[in-house]
Amino acid sequence: MILGLDISTSITGATILNKEGDIVYNEAWDTRKFKNFFEKVKHVEKRIEQLRNNGYGIERIYIEQSLQSFRSGFSSAKTLSTLSRFNGVVSWLVYRILQAEPEYIAATSARKTCGITVSRGQKGKEVVMKYVLDNVPEVTISYTRNNNIKPECYDKADSWVVAKAGYNLCQKEKR
């Protein structure tokens, strides 16, 4: 089985695919209520332990690479640093708890591997969500009372893309 993670300090998306590439787990781990970095880590650690204890038999782990560069109008240097630190800690937890070394994949590469094209000027998360809504009904999308997609659904969709890209890479290795 393959685990795909979209790690964030607010909501982490997690998807597990079986040997056929079908979704057996797709959730969002919400850490927004925890103000302390280490409380967020403890919450994610418990969720990873639940994955192990539920006997999914995860063999490969793919994690969306954290942002590597600063772009004006986007996250601050402090935010990027915190995200990178959180990504590193969660990567270690995954390795320690699931006994498998995670592999990293850039968001653009993951999307490309899944056949998702983001044109210039489009927002990646929106394009991914449209693709998932149109093609992956197993990813449960929920809405606010104003009919907007709930924030955690974007992380669930992104984690599916990471897991599916990992699955596609594994299939390529087998050939």
Amino acid 67: pLDDT:
58
Q: Which CATH class is domain 2-174?
A: alpha beta
State pTM to two decimals: 0.90
SS3 state of residue 137: coil
pLDDT of residue 164: 97
- For residues 4 and 17, is the Cβ–Cβ distance under 8 A? yes
Which residues touch 14 (CB under 8 Å, ≥6 apart)?
3, 4, 5, 6, 25, 26, 27, 28, 29, 47, 51, 159
- State which residues of the chain have pLDDT below 50: 69-73
The pLDDT of residue 82: 82
Contact 152, 30 (CB under 8 A): yes
Asked if 118 contacts 151 with a C-beta cutoff of 8 angstroms, the reply is no
What is the chain's Cα-based Rg? Answer: 16
- Please measure the distance between the N-terminal and C-terminal CA atoms of the chain and give it in whole angstroms: 18
Q: How far is CA 128 from CA 43, 55, 116, 123, 157, in A?
A: 26, 29, 7, 9, 7
Residue 69 confidence (pLDDT)? 47
pLDDT value, residue 75: 58
CA distance 103 to 60: 8
Position 172 scores a pLDDT of 86
The order of strands in the sheet holding 60-64 is: 23-30, 11-17, 2-6, 60-64, 103-105
Would you state the pLDDT for residue 26?
A: 98
Q: Give the length of the chain.
A: 175
Each domain of the chain, given as residue ranges in start order, spans 2-174
